[in-house]
């Protein structure tokens, strides 16, 4: 089991990661979700051993990995840009990961020579051992690339290339897989398709995984558990359903796109003065009179504190199954039937308090 314990990192005297701790359980896929520049890739590099943390430790089953170099950590990595060898075939690219592993384990010197031959070889020129080709065939089947072995990677589509990168990472039976924005370069349909496949593969193989992305839809589609990285700390952590139902901060609610977040001033009677009028939210914490607080307005939610507001329709956009309706005050809701622009409609919101704004 991987444990990150109190890891910190600064970059040019600016704190990038501050006291970050997390674990990845057996067979679990966690998703590190954060804006671009929030330090996600840096954290992966630290876990991979490509960069040391300034403070804190990376542990596997309780043992500190600091003395273990990257190539013997048994971690697989998949990047956005695939990082395949363009001059090698699909088979050779996948086999490469296996060669690297056997090099570090046995017959170091002999295999080093073979490795050189592998890298310098083009089609067919390289020595194949039956166990290795069996494993390559196995992982190619796993990623739905059966019969692609002899193809050149440069002839493949982006989605196919990413499957090759995944097969290469899977081949040596890594004890952990790490994905750094692996679908960033693909279009939406392909992205969704690959996400579902990847989720199925991760669950079938039970390899624990860390998936890094800035895209909240991707995170919700892949993660068993989401960790929201913001300003160097894990701001919120939980299952996708938990995080969605209780984002716990204005930033998290906005970043995830949960409902509408507005700000207002706490009044003496428990109501909050906002540009939509006085609202009475459900608050977990006490707030002093006059304090600026953030409120989450969820449309049509039953239970809790409900507000019924008459609002003007400013714009209506078609959005998949529903219509996205833009109302006054920057509020956006979804409706099955589109209202008339310029009309007034009555909308029911559940009003929750997200704390200090």
Nearer to ligand ADP, 35 or 282 (CB): 35
Nearer to ligand ADP, 11 or 278 (CB): 11
CB of 214 to Mg ion, least distance (A): 8
Q: Report the C-alpha gap between 27 and 205 in whole angstroms.
A: 8
Residue 34 contacts which entry, ligand ADP, Mg ion, none (Cβ below 5-8 A, type-dependent):
ligand ADP
Residue 38 contacts which entry, Mg ion, ligand ADP, none (Cβ below 5-8 A, type-dependent):
ligand ADP
Using CB under 6 A as the binding rule, whether residue 80 contacts ligand ADP is answered as no
Residues 6+ apart with CB under 8 A from 283: 270, 293, 353
Nearer to Mg ion, 33 or 221 (CB): 33
* 177 CB neighbour count, 10 Å cutoff: 23
Contact present, 30 and 209 (Cβ < 8 Å): yes
Nearer to Mg ion, 5 or 41 (CB): 41
Nearer to ligand ADP, 44 or 143 (CB): 44
Phi/psi at 171 (nearest 5 deg)?
A: -50, -45
Buried/exposed code over 135-168 (b: 16+ C-beta within 10 A; e: otherwise): bbbebbebbebeebbeeebeebeebbbbbbbbbb
Nearer to ligand ADP, 36 or 343 (CB): 36
CB of 237 to ligand ADP, least distance (A): 17
CB of 208 to Mg ion, least distance (A): 20
Determine the distance from the C-alpha atom of residue 216 to the mean position of all C-alpha atoms in its chain, rounded to a whole number: 7
Residue 73 contacts which entry, ligand ADP, Mg ion, none (Cβ below 5-8 A, type-dependent):
none
Residue 42 contacts which entry, ligand ADP, Mg ion, none (Cβ below 5-8 A, type-dependent):
ligand ADP
The stretch among 35-43, 162-170, 311-319, 329-337 that binds Mg ion (CB under 5 A) is 35-43
Residues forming beta bridges with residue 211, ordered by sequence position: 31, 179
Using CB under 6 A as the binding rule, whether residue 259 contacts ligand ADP is answered as no
- Cα dist from 203 to 108, 196, 198, 223, whole Å: 33, 11, 9, 11
Contact present, 277 and 347 (Cβ < 8 Å): no
Residues 6+ apart with CB under 8 A from 253: 247, 259, 261, 294, 296, 354
CB of 45 to ligand ADP, least distance (A): 8
Count the site residues for ligand ADP by CB under 6 A: 10
Contact present, 308 and 348 (Cβ < 8 Å): yes
Looking up tokens 């679908």, which residue turns up? 183
Nearer to ligand ADP, 43 or 139 (CB): 43
Q: Which of 2, 7, 16, 84 binds ligand ADP (CB under 6 A)?
A: 16
Residues 6+ apart with CB under 8 A from 229: 20, 32, 33, 34, 38, 39, 40, 43, 235
Site for ligand ADP in 264-283 (CB under 6 A): none
Using CB under 6 A as the binding rule, whether residue 182 contacts ligand ADP is answered as no
Site for ligand ADP in 25-64 (CB under 6 A): 34, 36-42
Determine the distance from the C-alpha atom of residue 321 to the mean position of all C-alpha atoms in its chain, rounded to a whole number: 25
Site for Mg ion in 36-55 (CB under 5 A): 41
CB of 278 to ligand ADP, least distance (A): 40
CB of 34 to ligand ADP, least distance (A): 5
Using CB under 5 A as the binding rule, whether residue 185 contacts Mg ion is answered as no
Determine the distance from the C-alpha atom of residue 119 to the mean position of all C-alpha atoms in its chain, rounded to a whole number: 33
State the residues that interact with ligand ADP by CB under 6 A: 11, 16, 34, 36-42
What residues line the site for Mg ion (CB under 5 A)?
Answer: 41
């Amino acid at each position: 089991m991987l444990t990150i314990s109190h890891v910190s990192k600064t970059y040019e005297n600016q704190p990038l990661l501050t006291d970050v701790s997390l674990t990845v359980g057996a067979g679990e896929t966690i998703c590190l979700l954060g804006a671009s520049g929030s330090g996600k890739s840096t954290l992966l590099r630290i876990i991979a051993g490509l960069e040391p943390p300034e403070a804190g430790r990376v542990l596997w089953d309780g043992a500190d990995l600091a003395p273990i170099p990257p190539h013997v950590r048994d971690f697989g990595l998949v990047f956005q840009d695939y990082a395949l060898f363009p001059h090698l075939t699909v088979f050779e690219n996948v086999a490469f990961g296996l060669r690297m592993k056997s090099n570090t384990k046995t017959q170091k010197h002999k295999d080093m020579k073979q490795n050189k031959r592998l890298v310098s070889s083009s089609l067919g020129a390289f020595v194949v051992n039956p166990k290795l080709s069996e494993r390559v065939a196995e992982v190619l089947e796993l990623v739905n690339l059966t019969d692609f072995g002899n193809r050149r990677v440069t002839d493949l589509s982006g989605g196919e290339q990413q499957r090759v990168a995944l097969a290469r990472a899977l081949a040596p039976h890594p004890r952990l897989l790490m994905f750094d924005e692996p679908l960033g370069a693909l279009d939406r349909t392909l992205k969704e398709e690959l996400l579902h496949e990847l989720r199925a593969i991760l669950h079938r193989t039970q390899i624990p995984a860390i998936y890094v992305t800035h895209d909240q839809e991707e995170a919700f589609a892949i993660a068993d558990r989401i960790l929201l990285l913001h300003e160097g700390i894990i701001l919120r952590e939980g299952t996708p359903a938990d995080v969605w139902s209780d984002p716990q901060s204005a930033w998290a609610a906005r970043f995830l796109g949960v409902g509408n977040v507005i700000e207002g001033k706490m009044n003496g009677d428990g109501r909050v003065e906002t540009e939509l009028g006085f609202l009475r939210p459900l608050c977990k914490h006490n707030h002093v009179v006059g304090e600026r607080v953030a409120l989450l307005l969820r449309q049509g939610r039953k239970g809790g504190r409900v507000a019924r507001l008459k609002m003007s329709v400013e714009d209506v956009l078609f959005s998949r199954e529903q219509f996205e309706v833009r109302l006054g005050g920057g509020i956006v809701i979804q409706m099955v039937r589109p209202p008339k622009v310029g009309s007034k409609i009555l909308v029911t919101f559940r009003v929750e308090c997200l704390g200090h704004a």
